[in-house]
Structure 1
Amino acid sequence: MQDQPTTPPPTLPDGWEWVDPPEGVRLLALAPAGTGTFRANITVTAQTNGDLGFRDWQVGSEMALVEMLPGYTPIDLERLTIAGQEAGRRLAMYDGPGGAALTMEQWFVDIDGVGHTLTATVPTGDYATWAPQIDRTATTWSPA
């Protein structure tokens, strides 16, 4: 059985809904269905990082994103503090299904060797519309 979070889920953007997540994902929310080939989503994951420290975990994550996401282009990367721990936020673009331009905003923190990540992915043309609400989702996220 999949490990379920014990903290309340973050606040979703207007009209988005929580759905049953696939294996390996703790929470999954979907935007209202649009007309494009990609449905905006928010995922929350938590995975053991083994012996990796925060920096090595994120260097490895960035390398994996470059390998997995066609056209991956980092836009911004900043250090933050989440739940009293060293954390970060990245903003990037990549090519999604059917060549759709996607924007990914991601918050990440390591707590006791577990990497917690909240990722919002939206069609790039919709990012300006959703960004303030996605930011609200991130500020209400409790990664524990």
Structure 2
Amino acid sequence: MHARLVEAGQALAEADMPTFLLTLRNEDGTLIGGCKGEIAFRSAHVSELWVDAAQRGRGIGQRLLNAAEAHARARSCTRIHIETRNPAARRLYEKAGYRVFGTLADYADGADYWYLEKPLPPVGLRTDRPR
């Protein structure tokens, strides 16, 4: 996956497309996570999210999602979406406020494939209801 992120970054640098590549490095500069995606029609799509296996469970996936959401908001996106067939990734996304809006049941290897999205209200706008 790391090599795919590097290749994606090089391709994005050469392309004239509304895309993004966000990376996270540790103190010594080693890449420990990243995500890439596209922006179209005020909607952001995270096409890949990767966290080094040794770094999982430390909040890095959440930090990358937060960065992708901030990037999308800064570009006037009103929602962000992602898809996965990994149950652990689905739990991460749902914990971050994403909701399943579609399921492709019994995908290629028998696993379900979930489509998730999250609304992105403008900064400062509350999405919870007062109690």
**TM-score of the pair, normalised by structure 1:** 0.29
Higher relative contact order (CA 8 A, sep 6+): 1
**TM-score of the pair, normalised by structure 2:** 0.31
Larger helix proportion, structure 1 or 2?
Answer: 2
Larger strand proportion, structure 1 or 2?
Answer: 1
Structure with the greater alpha carbon radius of gyration: 2
